Structure 1
Amino acid sequence: IREAIVKECRGDIDQWPSKLPHALFADKVTVSQVTGFSPFFLIHGVHPVLPFDLTEATFLVEGFRSGMSASSLLALRMRQIEKRPQDIKNAAAKLKKYRLGSKAQFEKRFKHALRTEPFKPGDYVLVRNSLVERELNRKTKPRYIGPYQVVRRTRNGAYILQELTGVISRSTVAAFRLIPY
């Protein structure tokens, strides 16, 4: 434990009182070389579930490798427990990168279904037949009806449509029910 605290202080030994609780906790949840179990497991009979196991497991600390010394392992565990601001910034940067990548992949995959601009008057659309979505025999009924032509968009974002014969519908249709024809 002493060696781990000294490593984690990185030359500023006056920090040891703030590092001690993290070192003791890390020691209690780390598997012992002698018993093959952590002291926590020996007392409670279950492996500890730590906050970083649930939320930040793969992001918080890098540097784990096979064949580490006990003091190096304890020092890394202490960093996990301390949740250093720099580690959290690194985790946030990685998470942002992965989320942006996921967003781009989603937009690429569903580009035909995502609309960023409203339909214009004269566009042909299909209307989702949402009445049949609650029925038991919906598999045999059409999911979309139409085509219709857009007359205009109302102030609240719904659309007024017309049949291809020119007859204008008196009811409006919500934008989420429309797809391009």
Structure 2
Amino acid sequence: MGCSPYFAATGTHPILPLDIAEATYLLPPPTLTLSTTDLIAIRAIVLQKRHAHLSALHSRVMAARLDAARGDLVLVRNTAIEKALNHKMQARYIGPLVVVSRNKGGAYIICKLNGSVFDRPVAAFRVIPYFARKSLTLPDLDGFLDVSPERIQEMEVSDVSDPDSGDVDASSDIDVDVDDDQASIDSG
């Protein structure tokens, strides 16, 4: 064929959404020519300021993260489909869902719009805000939820930040009873 499929379909060459050339001299243009010593001195000054710039960037990123309050509507990224072969046809986000609270590890305790609470917290990186076209009035969450307040408190006390990582914490609700060479697992 002699050309890319994109060029065959559109008649133009593809343009990448990024620059191929990387800018390495991130200072205002010099007014006169600089010697090698001056360039090394400027580079040393920039490297000395690097730690301060990184800490300022870190604080801005942390401030920009979602801090959803109780009753806020959110969407949850569907990470279960990322390894599936047909993931393009699956929903990337689940929701809208309601934030019930957060646990000590930073994960969100979330419920559906009908009041059914997820059985385990959702990692904070999976949660994004949901901007409704119209304002939704939600009932009082304490009477709306389908689980007891004690179960919500158990979930809040856990310090798991990412339940999908495979780590099982000590506050798990799985009890193992061994009676007469029989093991039975009772889940809560």
Tell me the TM-score range normalised by the shorter chain: 0.3 to 0.5
Larger radius of gyration: 1
More helix by share: 1
TM-score when normalising by structure 2: 0.42
